[in-house]
Structure 1
Amino acid sequence: MTKTKMRTYSYFFLLPAGIIYFVFYLLPTILSFFFSMTRWTLTKWTYIGFENYATFFSETSLSIGFRNTLVYAVVTCGLKVVLGLLLGAFLTSRILFKNYLRSVIFFPTLLSTIAVGIAFSTMMHPSHGMFNTVLASLGITGPDWLGNTKIALLSVAMVDVWKGVGVATVIYIAGISAIPQEYYEALKIDGGNNYSAFWNITLPLSRPAMNSVIILAFIGGLRSFDLIWAMTKGGPGFTTDLIASIIYKQYQAGFYGLATAGNVILFIAVSVLAFPLYKFLTKSEVNL
């Protein structure tokens, strides 16, 4: 069999996966761009050009939604990166019950996001929630965690971090475990301690793991919807509205073309922010 026939023959093995990828990813993406320029229902559509985009950007809540989305993504990403690194370094050290503690940290990731949102919204109730009940027993008046416009978004962000830091920790554990132990042994011979080992070996050589956590957490923050909706539905007012929740509200109201345009805008925004960030982070990775 010639090389050309071998190459053609091998491509047949990629065909099933290629068809699935086209049907369930590429085709819906292309159709989304088209239907974002229409006024459509389940039975008919009318082409209206860029009217949906103009309407979407004229929404009074859109600027608030963009700001909230960026704040939410930066806060959740930053905390997951820092806490995940500290937990990863701790759980790769010589401690007792290491495997048990790893499972405890990862457990919240396995829980349903909607269930977590409902549970924490109950615990954060201003009058009979668990958080304020505990604070009251200490003589402290607790805030309205989800009703105060100044802290509502950050309250949801903290729940997001609690639930998602386990994934970041697992990625860090994998990255730190891959660092050769000879580096740490050499540092000890030179008189280094645990502090210097962390700053001079663990931190720089876990950079690939850190980059993965940053990208995943940042994109996840930009696309976040379910936790926000379960806890606040974007309230009070537009205080916790993200781009995804604004899009969902448009779908609820029956403006399908407008909501599709919002999805396209979100897709472009994530791409514009994520790809340069990825290039910047991977440019200075430390290779073992």
Structure 2
Amino acid sequence: MTVKVAKQAKQAADRQVTGEQAAGRPASRGGRRHGSYPYALYAPAAAVYLVIFLVPTVMAFYFSLTRWTLFDSTFVGLDNFRDFLSEQNLRIGFQNTIVYAVVTSGLKVVLGMGLGVLLTGSLRSRGFLRSVVFFPVLVSTVAVGITFSMLLKPDTGLVDRTLGLAGIDGRDWLGDATTALLSVALVDVWKGVGLATVIYIAGIVSIPRSYYEAVMVDGGSAWHRFRHVTLPLSWPATYSVIVLSFIGGLRTFDLIWTMTRGGPGFTSDTIASIIYKQYQAGFYGLSTAGNVLLFIVVTALVVPLTYVLGKRQVVL
């Protein structure tokens, strides 16, 4: 009797597999056949990834071991790395890079979440306000840097003039060693907070309304809804904003170079601006070694960060 039941079960399974194949669905487990067409669909993306990322990365690692020009290269081993690590202002540049990344990513998280909560509320003109908040993301970074360099000029800039009307003495925001890096960081936040806000809006909108209704039924206030629903359940958005902003801060160059060129002196230099200065001086192998070191630093910091943050993911 047991053998008969087993045979009937096997026949039913075979019929199910045949039916799935006839309907165009992949057969399950033992009866499944892997076609070649899914892998062919990966080919265009794989080719683009290979040409744009893998090949230049491998070439960068090779040229970092050489002293090269456009037409010639000489293998020098680890000399470029040794010379780059002995740069006088590298310690300041590394410290500025970390501070810049932490400040910009932290402010983007706080402001992005605040604006996200505000712009998902019952505002009459929230569509227009969303566009206004996102607009700086679309503007060229170089244009933003030049504009704010004019606004932050000592005495004649709009910022100092406005402070003067309030009886506050202005200062040379970009020419003072104590304020130059922070000034650029705040401009970076102004430009990038729109993207963080959009990510938070998407995360908050995806939270089921039943959670908010449950808090309201229990007599919870707006603060309780934010504290117990929005804040924990928008963690995937927070995770994305932190990682993207932190990586962008570690690699920052364009705003720094446009607004301060690493000055005054070397006080607002970052690793990327130090690399560019070496490139400007014609030390191409040295600057390539700096790029490789920056790649290693970013990887060494971001991989553990994503692991730690990923363990806190909330599943709805």
Measured against the shorter chain, the TM-score band is over 0.9
Q: What one-letter code is carried by the residue in structure 1 that aligns with 2:164?
A: A
CA separation in 2, counterparts of 1:126 and 1:9?
63
Corresponding residue number in structure 2 for 1:161: 189
Corresponding residue number in structure 1 for 2:6: none
Residues 1:211 and 2:223 aligned together: no
Q: What one-letter code is carried by the residue in structure 1 that aligns with 2:220?
A: G
Is the partner of 1:46 in helix, strand or coil?
Answer: strand
CA separation in 1, counterparts of 2:224 and 2:48?
50
Task: Give the Å deviation of 1:11.
Answer: 2.5
Corresponding residue number in structure 1 for 2:103: 75
CA separation in 2, counterparts of 1:201 and 1:166?
23
CA separation in 2, counterparts of 1:7 and 1:31?
35
Is the partner of 1:66 in helix, strand or coil?
Answer: helix
CA separation in 2, counterparts of 1:16 and 1:79?
38
TM-score by length of 2: 0.88
CA separation in 1, counterparts of 2:45 and 2:213?
47
Is the partner of 2:87 in helix, strand or coil?
Answer: coil
Is the partner of 1:236 in helix, strand or coil?
Answer: coil
Corresponding residue number in structure 2 for 1:127: 155
Is the partner of 2:36 in helix, strand or coil?
Answer: helix
CA separation in 1, counterparts of 2:192 and 2:69?
36
CA separation in 1, counterparts of 2:287 and 2:131?
39
Higher relative contact order (CA 8 A, sep 6+): 1
Corresponding residue number in structure 2 for 1:254: 282
Q: 2:86 aligns with which of 58, 66, 69?
A: 58
Contact 2:232/2:314 (<8 A) preserved: yes
CA separation in 2, counterparts of 1:61 and 1:4?
61
Corresponding residue number in structure 2 for 1:43: 71
CA separation in 2, counterparts of 1:224 and 1:256?
20
Q: If you compute each CA radius of gyration, which structure gives the higher value, 1 or 2?
A: 2
Q: What one-letter code is carried by the residue in structure 1 that aligns with 2:287?
A: A
CA separation in 1, counterparts of 2:35 and 2:282?
49
Is the partner of 1:150 in helix, strand or coil?
Answer: coil
Residues 1:24 and 2:52 aligned together: yes
Corresponding residue number in structure 2 for 1:180: 208
CA separation in 1, counterparts of 2:292 and 2:156?
41
Corresponding residue number in structure 1 for 2:303: 275
Percent of aligned pairs with the same residue? 59
How many matched pairs?
288
CA separation in 1, counterparts of 2:163 and 2:41?
61
Runs of 4+ in 1 over 6 A off after TM superposition: none
The answer to which of 13-22 and 171-180 deviates more is 13-22
Q: What one-letter code is carried by the residue in structure 1 that aligns with 2:84?
A: F
CA separation in 1, counterparts of 2:56 and 2:132?
39
Task: Give the Å deviation of 1:14.
Answer: 2.5
Q: Which runs of 5+ in 2 are unaligned?
A: 1-20, 22-30
CA separation in 1, counterparts of 2:83 and 2:267?
21
Task: Give the Å deviation of 1:4.
Answer: 10
Corresponding residue number in structure 1 for 2:312: 284
Task: Give the Å deviation of 1:8.
Answer: 3.2
Corresponding residue number in structure 1 for 2:174: 146
Task: Give the Å deviation of 1:9.
Answer: 4.2
Task: Give the Å deviation of 1:5.
Answer: 8.8
1:78-117 correspondence to structure 2 within 5 Å: 78-117=106-145
Contact 2:155/2:171 (<8 A) preserved: no
Task: Give the Å deviation of 1:35.
Answer: 0.5
